[in-house]
Structure 1
């Protein structure tokens, strides 16, 4: 039977959706299937609840596993009509439908924004009991002193006990960051001396985005760059002259100005395009007057979105100030900040002991990727990204920092990198940016490169020139231990990434070549494909190297290796050319790694289908259950992984480089931001084991 966890607030505006998100991410990694339920929601349409949409999006839950019950208006009508039991019965019926197909259900209670707080608190306690859920209680510490926050925990705990709920955990949220440690040390534990967790206020969540502000106002987009996921860090009502305006300008400014103030519009565009000046996250033009025709072409090129509303400036400004940030679908930066804080402050192992979930039986793509992040975070590494002037890399770096995955170093001209980031609303606070040309490391790096390549006739001047290449500079950072790994290739070829590593990082002892694998995330399992990116026509020795390295990579990422050496024939049915190379490679693997289950030559269908495998190779430990697939050449491997990716809907993570002494990985030039984040996590894990 599914376990149930009920996230219940003790006061309004507790930020309990952060706790819901953290629990969902934790449980998604430790249970086969999770469900999510909100019995009562604030909006006018239960089907469009933003928290349900967020959980569905992040964890790939179908609508039948993540849903809402009724609106607050519907619940109020039932309460006033004396039919409160109908709330419970409808909620239990909906909960049971979800619980029937999952291992654990997270339930998020109401927001306690009603007029009768006591009635609503009691409603949540009764809902938790009727659903058979343990309660995770959230106490709001916003605007409270340390003593007030500590007392609030005692008051809330007493109220939950009086409601006879099964209280699993108490979490203090939205604490002043300067007070969080004091609250943590002074708060009193509950029964069984269970610790109380304290989460600090997260500015990135509290700040609304441009999209949230303009959506709340019903503003019409007029011009500019349609990037709405930018934090509104400051609001400026610009009704003064330009000189005074510039004195008040700060990064992340949301400018509100009458539609006839062309001087303000020109200034905002100019400052955002001028290095060293503060950036603008968005602009709101107010009033019924149209923008002058002569200014419209300039606004069309604005590096920020420009919106318009018919209200006067005073009314519009007050409406803007009333908008607060929230966790919603389509906001990866807020989500990353929330999960980063959760992982820093919550002892997940201790919390899981209380829940005691059964071990999962299958591995889904989403859970695999979430576990990657968890493993990377467990032993913090430092990863360099040489392509610091690529927008995708900057977005990924921000998400990595917010999710607290590892430390990131960007290479590039510092002013250009930060101007590019500011122009697109990307926050690089806490991320180091190094310009190789201006770095104090340049000369010692050049001297080391000249020493290492002296046998190739490399001079000091040539070495210095080579170290100005960011791929070489980043690789030397790895080689000399300034960072633990490198990820490159978003804007360069695989050769650009690998060449410096081959020159001075070198391959591991006993490994003849650098190769690669893709981690293929299917609906219910993870397979390893190699080599699909590096070696065009490997010989038998190289195929054996690839097989052993791929098996090691599989183990590294939790896949029990059973290696299929692929060919167009199975067993002894074929001979000649490449099939003989595969047969020879298989024998080499058996001699070099006798403990490794390996079969070859074998056709793909015999490797993955149990009935075909039993027919073609009866008694084989690999046929029908292979997890690692070694392709005979790059042409076959590259086409196969792309065919499976496109036709079977598999998620392809990689290429993951293997065989090098240190953790260096390549990106596809068509990579997404999420691809970069995942590859950095993989590199951090490889660095942990290097």
Structure 2
């Protein structure tokens, strides 16, 4: 059975982070994923929180749950192992790889020993990743002994142990050589175990008086209760601190808001106790100082709020996407996926799922780091994407925009933009240099230095000139600009690569079960046969570069040799040109879109692409754009692009409503393009 059995030895190991990380690893390797929970914390009829998290993030082909902890301890162990193994094998038949989640914390508390997991894993035959908790360890010797004990327990039961993950260990802990299997040390990350402001509000029945709803997701890393003078209080204020104070302490409230506005500390929020609410004038000042910081009001006193806070712990859940992102980034930073993946192999498949494609992008981008400029640095989605790009090591970045606005927005959102360069085109000394170069490049179009200087205050022109000058390897824009505005400077300045017949535009369309390329999606309204052929060949080379086997479908409204009309004849001539110019490529047409994507009764006999096409070349821009827009509205599709093909240097755009993850992926696409010369 291909997959991983995730088993925990001991309590407090932070298993959800590891289970999420292992599922992410599997999702990058196979198309059809499954998960089976052996013993669940949930009681009858309740959802299993880990399964709900995994179902929210991954397209699972099979899901199974064995028994509750209460039922497990009432059943003969050998009978239960046989039953769970049979159920697990039935679930495994419905997928390519299965993540088996071992005995839950409730099961351990109820008396199930780790040896139960070992015997069950041996019965199922799935390789095991052992998770040991390192939160209470005293040093490397104690962790090393826990690793050896975990490995010994499962290997003596007949299991193949892939690795041992020591989770929540102290920072900078190091182990010596001589361990029996690869061991990964994942340090404690306080943000993952921290409750959110929203959790605190629910626990003390507080209402929000001030701040935006997004602020309720801030992590509470500690608290401070007033009782001192304002200067002493401010000395205790730290990032992530929740301030607990009576509502009549306007000095504490305004001092907290002023510290947040000044950037000296980023408190999580303020809880006003005893039902007191600040006067209207104070609230007006608060709204001007920092409109985002959450301020809550509760009838409870400060002692009750502090007591409730001590009893709260955060959880990685679908509602807290920032924790999910942080958990995956933390896992990926400390667990070498290649070591685990090397034992798994890869299920042969022609289909590349969206998650497999995204992983390939990031993996390839990180191999040779490139410097990408993001033209719309003041956009909130771009800032969040920049934070993820930095943490995942996808690329080095420059953000364009006003530095004070960008830093302030990052502070408000709790983003870490260290090592990311920020440039303001309006004030940068590069503007004059770029303007002179731009004026010379466009002199034949009547460009003057004065006009060029005006244009170089625009981030798209400025970012394009950074690429042209070699300061950055590529640029991404489009989140806050029309695509035509974002890419026009590149067409004017960067221009086509040597040998390229023309620049064209294509979009990656990631569906649940495959990834395909649509072309031309942005530049050529109605290309003739030769241009269509060139677009097809260029798009095939793009697909190859990104790990997609090109099978080209040249689309029209009719399939096969019987169709007639201008478009059909134009496409038929384009197919013959592709076969003549690139005989190694698989191409067919004229062919209908539905036939290319799903086969069908009207598929040409023996068509090599019907139902298997990976590169779709549309006959004109209107049809291509309509197809892309339709895909953007589908819940099971993600569209990246348009990316420009045939440019000397990569400049790409995202759509105006692009998500944070789509921006991250487009940065990765641009970085991969920048690793090699354009075709």
Q: Is the Cα contact below 8 Å between 1:657 and 1:664 reproduced in 2?
A: yes
Residue 340 (structure 2) aligned to one of 334, 348, 351: 351
Residue 253 (structure 1) aligned to one of 232, 241, 259: 241
Query: In 1, Cα distance between the equivalents of 2:482 and 2:377?
Result: 16
Q: Is the Cα contact below 8 Å between 1:612 and 1:624 reproduced in 2?
A: no
Partner of 2:664: 677
Residues 220-239 of structure 1 aligned to structure 2 (within 5 Å): 220-227=207-214, 228-239=216-227
Q: Is the Cα contact below 8 Å between 1:508 and 1:660 reproduced in 2?
A: yes
Task: Quickly say closer, same or farther: Cα 1:529–1:328, change in 2 above 3 A.
Answer: same
Task: Quickly say closer, same or farther: Cα 1:463–1:235, change in 2 above 3 A.
Answer: farther
Partner of 2:20: 21
Task: Quickly say closer, same or farther: Cα 1:111–1:431, change in 2 above 3 A.
Answer: farther
Partner of 1:516: 505
Partner of 2:129: 136
Q: Deviations over 1:190-223 (max 9, x none)?
A: 1xxx432233333442444334444555544444
Structure 1 stretch displaced more, 479-488 or 661-670: 479-488
Q: Deviations over 1:160-190 (max 9, x none)?
A: 44555442322222333323xx32xx04221
Q: Is the Cα contact below 8 Å between 1:153 and 1:187 reproduced in 2?
A: no
Query: In 2, Cα distance between the equivalents of 1:129 and 1:619?
Result: 47
Instruction: Return the offset for 1:233.
Output: 4.3
Residue 197 (structure 1) aligned to one of 184, 188, 199: 184
Partner of 1:10: 9
Residue 355 of structure 1 aligns to a residue in which SS? coil
Residue 144 (structure 2) aligned to one of 150, 159, 170: 150
Aligned residues: 673
Query: In 2, Cα distance between the equivalents of 1:257 and 1:56?
Result: 40
- RMSD of aligned alpha carbons: 3.3
Q: TM-score, normalised by structure 1?
A: 0.87
Q: Deviations over 1:332-379 (max 9, x none)?
A: 333333333333443333323333454345433333333333333343
Q: TM-score, normalised by structure 2?
A: 0.88
Partner of 2:618: 631
Q: Is the Cα contact below 8 Å between 1:333 and 1:399 reproduced in 2?
A: no
Instruction: Return the offset for 1:385.
Output: 0.8
Task: Quickly say closer, same or farther: Cα 1:230–1:469, change in 2 above 3 A.
Answer: same
Partner of 1:66: 63
Query: In 2, Cα distance between the equivalents of 1:216 and 1:51?
Result: 22
Q: Is the Cα contact below 8 Å between 1:285 and 1:306 reproduced in 2?
A: yes
Report whether the alignment pairs 1:342 with 2:319: no
Report whether the alignment pairs 1:657 with 2:654: no
Partner of 2:102: 109
Q: Is the Cα contact below 8 Å between 1:52 and 1:68 reproduced in 2?
A: no
Partner of 1:543: 532
Query: In 1, Cα distance between the equivalents of 2:226 and 2:486?
Result: 48
Partner of 1:643: 630
Partner of 1:412: 401
Partner of 1:124: 117
Q: Deviations over 1:561-602 (max 9, x none)?
A: 232332344566555644444344334433332332333444
Unaligned ranges ≥5, structure 2: none
Query: In 2, Cα distance between the equivalents of 1:214 and 1:575?
Result: 68
Unaligned ranges ≥5, structure 1: none
Partner of 1:286: 273
Q: Is the Cα contact below 8 Å between 2:41 and 2:106 reproduced in 1?
A: no
Residue 217 of structure 2 aligns to a residue in which SS? coil
Task: Quickly say closer, same or farther: Cα 1:116–1:632, change in 2 above 3 A.
Answer: closer
Q: Is the Cα contact below 8 Å between 1:488 and 1:667 reproduced in 2?
A: yes
Report whether the alignment pairs 1:398 with 2:395: no
Q: Is the Cα contact below 8 Å between 2:507 and 2:640 reproduced in 1?
A: yes
Query: In 1, Cα distance between the equivalents of 2:466 and 2:328?
Result: 29
Q: Is the Cα contact below 8 Å between 1:605 and 1:613 reproduced in 2?
A: no
